[in-house]
Amino acid sequence: MFKLSVKTKKKTQKAQIEEFENLWKNNMKRPFLEKIVLNIGVGAGGEELERAVTVLETISGRKPIKTLSKRNIKEFNLRKGRPIGTMVTIRGIEAEKLLKRLLIVNNNKILRRSFDNYGNFGFGITEHISIPGIEYDNLIGIWGLDVVGRIIRPGMRVKYRRKARAKVPKHHYVSRLEAQYFFEKNFGVDIVEQLDLEFM
């Protein structure tokens, strides 16, 4: 059930839900999942990176790209421009379907602190083989990955388009509470303070 945090209980739970529902009657205010990004940081190139790429390709069905180091770090033997990780972006209906699969790993629970006030959210998966439909391969091993995504309203394109860019007012971003309610309503997840997972 959607719950307000202790710090933000200025409105009753019912009043807050009604406010969101009334707001969403306006098509330009109705939020939607823009994208999710899967990321694996390897720290180096070579065979390990290729295995990570294979993992993301198996999970998403898309071809991942390799991320490059942005600076030199002697302690980690990193040089600017060298591949150190891999990521893949999924949008639209495919993103919604994949997100539902990924949330099953955490028993359809997500931490309250996983959201910010701009519609962004994120959580981690420690073992990729716990994702439904993914089988263990001894040649690849077991990998952990980060899942981040964004919930937005229509019209956010004005901030990123090439011509006639404009600022987006803060009230047009999806707030933390609104994003949490969006998750509960559309993905059937529980917003919790702490994950208490059962391992078999």
pLDDT at 9: 56
pLDDT at 97: 95
pLDDT at 126: 92
The H-or-E segment that residue 84 falls in is: strand 83-91
| pTM for this model (two decimals) | 0.85
- The residues spanned by each domain of the chain are 16-191
User: For the chain (length 200 residues), average pLDDT per consecutive 10?
Assistant: 56 87 94 96 84 94 88 71 89 95 93 94 94 90 94 93 91 94 93 71
pLDDT at 100: 95
- What is the b/e burial string over 71-103, where b = at least 16 CB atoms within 10 angstroms of the residue's CB? eeeeeeebeeeebbbbbbbbeeeebeebbeebb
- Does domain 16-191 fall under CATH 3.30.465.10? My reply is no
pLDDT at 199: 46
What are the phi and psi torsion angles at 108 (to 5°)? 55, 40
